[in-house]
Each structure stands twice: as structure tokens, then as C-alpha cells.
Amino acid sequence: MDCCTAVPAHEFDGYTMTPDSPNRPHTTRFHVEGMDCPDEIAVLLKCLRGASGISDLSFNLMASTMAVTHDRSRVTPENIVERVATTGMRASVVNELSQTRPVKPSVSRRSLMGCAFAGLATAAGAGLSMLPAATIHHTTWPAAIAYLSAIAAAWRFVLPKAVSALRRFRLDMSVLMTIAVIGAVALGQWLEASTVAFLFMVSHLLESWSVHRARRAILSLMELSPPTARVLTDDDGQEDRAVEKVVPGSRILVRPGEKFPLDGRIIEGETRVDQAPVTGESVLVPKQPGD
């Protein structure tokens, strides 16, 4: 049998902002829809770091969660949700700190249909521009309608982010691409404008799809970890506790063939353990004191 001192890992890691305020009265966890890359984390930091009553922020990009330590008498979770909404993202409170929120499909059917429509409309515009018809700003009117339809279909998912960034006086990729499309239309380059809008939407879908796959893979590994640990008490007894309630310095018992519920150091016993959630190894790995 093995015993090891448990060193519980932080619930949230990665990007952390700690202002000068020493008060940390309460921590609320939020699930943030639309937080798919470090750029969104930077936006949330800029949005929340100046809020009165917030003393600490930390983010888990893969789980799409945000932990906010705040003074509930000065700023409530509802206030935080409202501030996040100004960035174009949506936040919702996760009631239990240890609760695992199911990952929703990041590429919706509406997004896929909009992207397909934008591509087809761009191709239709290129074909209609060759037909004889009255011209509107360097292209035929049927082609102009097709191009505008393609731009509208692709930009309905990008324009809100661009508007939100401009309200915060911040230039991001959505703003720059919007300016590029408007500039191309102003110059009469309809095909280029429509193509840029379509390809930018494709890039957003690919980014969302790749992040979604990574989140699913990480959650599947997390599900392999035991939710409870067998803690040795001072009276030589044993007590099963949720892993988030095990404090550093505790001694936990891990029987041969079991998975380690927490990080720690073996202080007694030798055995072979399953560490697939960490390394992906399919065979049991030998462990001894000091490991």
C-alpha cells in the first residue's frame, strides 16, 4: 500500500490578475461563452480589473471558466455578468466549484449554414457579374445583391465583436477585418470583399472547432481522475473526502492499481499505479518512496 502527502492543485491556472486589495471574501466561478483564445482573456481582464470590489481574477481557457474573487456587498455576480456582456461574451454562474460543465458543440448548425451560404453567395456573385445587367458601383446589380448577402451572412457573427471592441476603444482582428471589407466595397472590389468575409468566418469556425476538440480531450482525461481521496486521519482511521476538500499536508492512501486522486509524494510503500490521466500510458507504472 502507498501513502502520499497530498498537494491539491489549483482549481484555476493560467492567466491571473491580483490587484492591491487584500480582501478576498468570496470566489464565484463563471462559465464564459465565447472565451476561445487569450485575446478574449485580455478583453475580460480589461473589462473587470477596474471594477470596484473585485480583488482577484483567474481563467481556465480549456474549461472556458473564470473565477472572480469579489466583495459581494460591492459587486454581485449579476453585476459581473452584466459587465461581461458588454464585451460580446456571455457569462453564467457555475453553482458548484467542483461541478464540471458539459462542453457544448462550439460550431453550431446556424454558423455552418451561414458559412456555407456565404461561400455559395460569393461564387454566385462571381458568376452573375459576367451577365449583362445594369451596373452598381463597378459590378452588375444581381452580383452586388449576391455579394452583399454573402457579406451579411458571414459578418453577422463578426460585426458584434467589432462594435464591442470599438466601444472599448480597442482595435482587434474583427475591427480590422471589418474595415478591410468596407474598404474593398468602397473601392468597388466586391469579389475581394465577399471572399475576405467568407474566409474570415471559415477561420473562426476552424478555431472554435479546434478549441472544442481540445476541451473535450481534456475533460475526458479529467473524468479519469477519482473524485474522492481516501484520507488517513490522526486516529489511524480512513475517511473519503472530495478532492477539492483535501488540504495540503494530508496523507492519502492509494491501493495497488488505483489512480492517484491528487498530486503528492509517496512516503511509504511500493506498487504500480495507473497514471494514464497524466501521461496517457496504458500500463501500470512502478512507484516507490520519494516519487
Tell me if 153 is assigned to some domain.
yes
Same domain, 77 and 125: no
Tell me if 21 is assigned to some domain.
yes
Same domain, 136 and 213: yes
State residue 146's pLDDT score. Answer: 94
State residue 151's pLDDT score. Answer: 93
pLDDT tens per residue across span 115-140: 999 999 999 999 998 888 888 888 89
Tell me if 214 is assigned to some domain.
yes
Same domain, 90 and 29: yes
State residue 116's pLDDT score. Answer: 92
Domain that holds residue 70: 11-94
Same domain, 56 and 118: no
Answer with the one of 70, 94, 118 that is the final residue of a domain.
94
Place of cell 487569450: 38
- Domain total for the chain? 2
Tell me if 137 is assigned to some domain.
yes
Comparing 275 with 102, the larger pLDDT belongs to 275
State residue 55's pLDDT score. Answer: 86
213-227, 246-260, 277-291: which is most confident: 246-260
pLDDT tens per residue across span 47-58: 898 788 898 899
Same domain, 125 and 213: yes
Report how far residue 269's alpha carbon sits from residue 4's, in angstroms, rounded to the nearest whole number: 9
Is this model's pTM higher than 0.75 or not?
no
Same domain, 115 and 212: yes
Tell me if 263 is assigned to some domain.
no
Same domain, 113 and 213: yes
Same domain, 84 and 120: no
Provide the percentage of residues in the chain whose pLDDT is more than 70.
86
pLDDT tens per residue across span 139-198: 899 999 999 999 999 888 788 888 878 887 878 888 899 999 999 999 999 999 999 999
Place of cell 480597442: 170
Tell me if 180 is assigned to some domain.
yes
Tell me if 249 is assigned to some domain.
no
- pLDDT confidence tier of residue 81, bands split at 50, 70 and 90: very high
State residue 105's pLDDT score. Answer: 55
Mean pLDDT, all residues of the chain: 81
Same domain, 136 and 193: yes
**Continuous H helices in 129-223:** 141-155, 159-167, 173-186, 190-222
Same domain, 126 and 200: yes
Same domain, 61 and 116: no
Report how far residue 271's alpha carbon sits from residue 256's, in angstroms, rounded to the nearest whole number: 6
State residue 9's pLDDT score. Answer: 37
Beta bridge partners of 5: 251, 265
pLDDT tens per residue across span 2-25: 444 433 333 333 333 344 444 446
Tell me if 100 is assigned to some domain.
no
Cell of 189: 472590389
**CATH number, residue 71:** 3.30.70.100
CB 46 within 8 A of CB 28: no
